[in-house]
Structure 1
Amino acid sequence: MNSQLRKLLAASGVSVFCLVGMTAARAADLTVRIAWYMPPHTATADQGQAFADAVTKLSHGKIKVETYPSGSLLKESNIAQGLSNNTVNAAIFGMHWWSKYEPALEWDTVPFLADDAGALLNALHGKLGQDVNTLLNKHNVEVIGWGFYGYAESYVNTKRAIKTPTDLKGLKMRSEGKLSAKFLAAQGATPVAVDSSEVYTSLQSGSLDGAVSGLSSIVSRKWYEVGHYITAIHYVPLVYPIQVNAKWWKGLTQAQRDIIAKAAVGTESQAVADIEKEFNDDIALSKKHGNEVYRPTDAELQQWKDTAGVQARKDYIAEVGAPGQQILSDVDAALKK
């Protein structure tokens, strides 16, 4: 700072330190705390960082974003509650983690409900998204942008190749949600609820024979190191929205909401492209590591659809009733099934 400016500031009664403080305040009028539990180099983690960068850019630095990635603040088991009580202002996590509070929100785990993330994204910008948001609003949460974890479910195990559902018989498998557990049990497997952070050691010790998850988790969490056999299926694109605490959201200015919402929506198309690329890249990486990666034939895939898909729809509706039926109707109408 030159001497002339210092004199002007002194004459006006404004100190240099005060000016610096005012500049800093203007540079960060708002701080947004956002969390996700997925590890680095996954579609969810990439979308979270892209969102943070976009908010900073669009606000010209006036909105600061603090990121809490890889479960560093909130894990799968408590992230929904943490967002609802404003431990974080925003979060990216699976729709199905709301199911213990709102059972119908497990809708996106119904196998083969949708096999194209791009088409599902379009549906989420229509009545489907509105009805999902209505359920989330009951828990002080609002979706401001849509994203996808990847294609679930795939299977990893230490025993044998799983080509058809009958190959699951006798295996102790980490399940992913209620519908997954029911399906595994129906096939003669033993479903076990295990947090993703514990799967590696459980496979290593033999307390689990295998695990159900998206291929991106199997690879990014390195489960392929302890499970030789992988079955890769385009089962369903799990929905991982960018969600915000509704009370906090309403307390922002309209200009702040516009910037943050624009940043969120701006990440959506890349998120769709990322999960498609990630699926193929993960197969290649697993094979390179020496794993046996199996892709079901058309006839075998039909067996998965006839068992996992049909039964899961029935189980889902039986469990959640009218709200779930409305969501499935929204999906079917949007995808013209």
Structure 2
Amino acid sequence: MGLTSDKVLVSAVVLAVVLFLATVWLWPRLARRGWRPVVGRVGLLLVTQVALFAAVGLAANRSFLFYGSWADLFGQEQEMGVVVDHAAGSKDVRVVGTQAVDVPGGGRPSVGGQIQKVVVEGERSGIASQAYVYLPPEYFQEKYAKRTFPAAVVLTGYPGTAENLIKGLKYPRTAYLQAKEGRMQPMILVMLRPTVAPPRDTECVDIPGGPRVETFFAEDLPKAVSETYRVGTKARNWGFMGNSTGGYCALKIALHHPDRFAAGAGFSAYYKAAEDVTTGDLFHGDAALRRRGDLLWSLDHGKAGNTSFLVTTSKKGEGNLKGTREFIRKVRSPAQVSSIVLDSGGHNFNTWNREIPPGLVWLGERLRAD
């Protein structure tokens, strides 16, 4: 049974309730003096508390999808060492599975679109990563057969899983509904997590002597997707968006690569690369590389590109309000910046689900299909 399955959650809740009732029932018998009753009381309290903690943790994880599987929870990677047999027409992408979109008629690609599970291997970076590609219904319709589509890279936070973007943040469903209701143009979404060199949080940095994560996202990924799907290769064809760590990466890649991405949207983003136990030594004493990871410094000292940015925060509940205001203030022409500022909203899926629909509409207005 999977970590997020109903059976696991129900079993944990039932076990917690049974242990609680057993504690109440057996407590009088264990009220005597002596080491055995004491051990019995301690044991009952301990297993009951563990069961309650597990039930609450499973419920929270099912709601927010912090971890997508048991292997993810325990820091194990199930799909390391994937041998990639490259398909004809592309040497960098292999489709390994498909699934329907959770919309009416989703079983038919020409009606509901399709989600393809792929493995992308970076030609320059040497990084291989799993991703999900959402293809809108129009992609499969005859009247759009010769049309290219705009595309957006979508990143979750750290240490999230790519499944979070489908199940928790509902990107494919939201994109489908917004296009169906005429609010945005059909768009391809390339969904993955920023942790392409697990378990390390690389902050989308080309680490000296380490994984070249920025190269993977800025160069390898759009090139591989454009060679496999009907997506243009110009900056006006590509956007980047994400939440938390993924939001920082989206803004950073769009800021430093305006020739590759016309727009970047950061939901609850921060503006300077984290450096902690999860990242390790990202910069190896390279002061210029560290400054480059500071987006506010880069806005002050770098050349402004013709890029559009969207940043989000809330007046209560988010810790990035001050940084977001600074980012907005520092953006210089010809770049443009927009914002979503909620009255209240924490750093969680509920907040991001309030920002993603208008964020997708905003992005769709700034990208072009050739």
Higher helix share: 1
RCO higher in 1 or 2 (8 Å CA, sep ≥ 6)?
Answer: 1
TM-score normalised by length of structure 2: 0.28
